[in-house]
Amino acid sequence: MNLLEGKTALIFGLANNKSIAWGIAKAFHQNGATLGFSYGIPQLERRVMPLAGDLNVDFVEPCDVTKDEDIDDVFNKAEKRFGSIDILIHSVAFAKQDDLAGRFVNTSRDGFAMALDISAYSLVALAQRASGLMPAGGSMLTMTYYGSEKAIPHYNVMGVAKAALEASVRYLAMDLGPDGIRVNAISAGPIKTLAAAGIAGFRKMLRYTSERTPMRRNVDQDEIGNTALWLCSDLSSGITGEVVYVDAGYHILGMPEPPENWE
Ligand code: NAD
C-alpha cells in the first residue's frame, strides 16, 4: 500500500523504539510518506538517530514544546527542507512523577500547569505553526487516553490534561476545517512505553485491561500506527474533531466481567 505517497509528515514525540510515535513512523514509512522527526530532550538524540537511520529520515530536530523559540526553529527548518507539509503527529505528554501517584487532590499548582502546558497546550502551539505549512490542507493527530473521561487510579492530572487536549482537538478542527485541515485524536489503550512507566501501578493497569477488554488483550504500537495511517490518509477524508478508540474495546464496557471465583 502507498496511502501516503507524496505526503510529508512531521512527527513529534519519538523517544525510542517503544514509543507510539515509532509505531506511527513505521506505518507511514511503509506507505510512502516522507518523514521528519522531532524529539524532546538532548539525551534522546542517541536513541532517535538510529531509528531515523532505519527509515532513511534525515530531518531530525530537537524541540522542547514548552519553548516557543524551539517550536519556531523546527518549523522554520521544516519549511526550508520540505516547503510544505501534509501531516502533523503530536505524540507528546509529561507530568511530574509525584502527580502520577497517590491522590489527585494533592496536585500542586506548578505540576498542574506543567502537565497542561506540555500535554495539551503544545498541540495548539504546534498546530499554529503547522497550519501555516499546509496550504493544500492536511491532517493533524494527537494521542489521548480514556482517563480524560473517567477517573483512573494514579492517572490524575494527566487525565485533566487529556480532557483539555481532546477539547483542543474539537476547537482546532472547527477553526482549521475551512482550510482543509483535519484534526483528530486516537485514544489508545495502555501500552508499555517510557511515558507510561511514570504512572504508578502501570503494570497492574496493563494486566487489568488485558483481562477485561472485550478482546481479552491489550493493543500495541503497530495497531496505533495503522489507525494513524487511516486517520492521516485520504481514506478518512470526512472525519475531523474525532476521538477514535484503539483500546481493544475497553471503553465500551459499563461493567467488566466479574472474576470467576466470585459467588
Ligand atoms: P513516550 O515516552 O515514548 O513518548 C512521550 C514523548 O513525549 C517522548 O518522546 C518525550 O520526549 C516527549 N516529551 C515530553 N516532554 C516533552 C517536552 N517538553 N517537549 C517535547 N517533547 C516532550 O511514550 P508514549 O506512550 O509513546 O507517549 C506518546 C503519547 O501517547 C503521549 O501523549 C501519551 O500520553 C499518549 N498515550 C500513551 C498511552 C500508553 O499507554 N503508552 C496510552 C494512551 C495515550
**Distance from Cα 143 to the centre of ligand 1, integer Å:** 8
Does residue 1 belong to any structural domain of this protein?
A: no
Does residue 256 belong to any structural domain of this protein?
A: no
Atom 21 of ligand 1, nearest CA residue: 40
Q: How far is CA 159 from CA 104, 145, 147, 199, 245, in A?
A: 10, 8, 5, 12, 16
Contact 142, 91 (CB under 8 A): yes
| Distance from C-alpha of 13 to C-alpha of 22, rounded to nearest angstrom | 9
Burial class (CB in 10 A: 0-12, 13-18, 19+), 70: middle
pLDDT of residue 108: 96
Catalytic residue among 39, 146, 155, 250: 155
| CA proximity to 162, closest of 176, 143, 175 | 143
Range of the domain at 196: 8-249
Q: How many domains does the chain have?
A: 1
Q: For a substitution probing ligand 1, which of 17, 94, 204 has the most ligand atoms within 8 Å of its CB? A: 94
Is 155 catalytic? The answer is: yes
Does residue 50 belong to any structural domain of this protein?
A: yes
**Distance from Cα 193 to the centre of ligand 1, integer Å:** 8
Give the nearest ligand 1 atom to 142 CA: 32
Give the nearest ligand 1 atom to 20 CA: 26
Give the nearest ligand 1 atom to 196 CA: 41
pLDDT of residue 263: 78
pLDDT of residue 221: 98
pTM: 0.98
**Distance from Cα 118 to the centre of ligand 1, integer Å:** 10
Does residue 42 belong to any structural domain of this protein?
A: yes
**Distance from Cα 12 to the centre of ligand 1, integer Å:** 9
Residues having CB closer than 6 A to ligand 1 are: 13-15, 19-21, 39-41, 44, 63-66, 91-94, 118, 143-145, 188, 190-191, 193-196
CATH number of the structural domain spanning residue 169: 3.40.50.720
Q: For a substitution probing ligand 1, which of 10, 17, 18, 20 has the most ligand atoms within 8 Å of its CB? A: 20
**Distance from Cα 261 to the centre of ligand 1, integer Å:** 37
Catalytic residue among 145, 146, 245, 250: 145
Does residue 258 belong to any structural domain of this protein?
A: no
Does residue 221 belong to any structural domain of this protein?
A: yes
Averaged pLDDT, groups of 10, the chain, 263 residues long: 96 98 98 98 95 98 98 98 98 97 96 98 98 98 98 97 99 98 99 96 96 96 98 98 98 86 84
Does residue 65 belong to any structural domain of this protein?
A: yes
Does residue 199 belong to any structural domain of this protein?
A: yes
pLDDT of residue 138: 98
pLDDT of residue 249: 98
**Distance from Cα 152 to the centre of ligand 1, integer Å:** 18
| CA proximity to 95, closest of 161, 150, 23 | 161
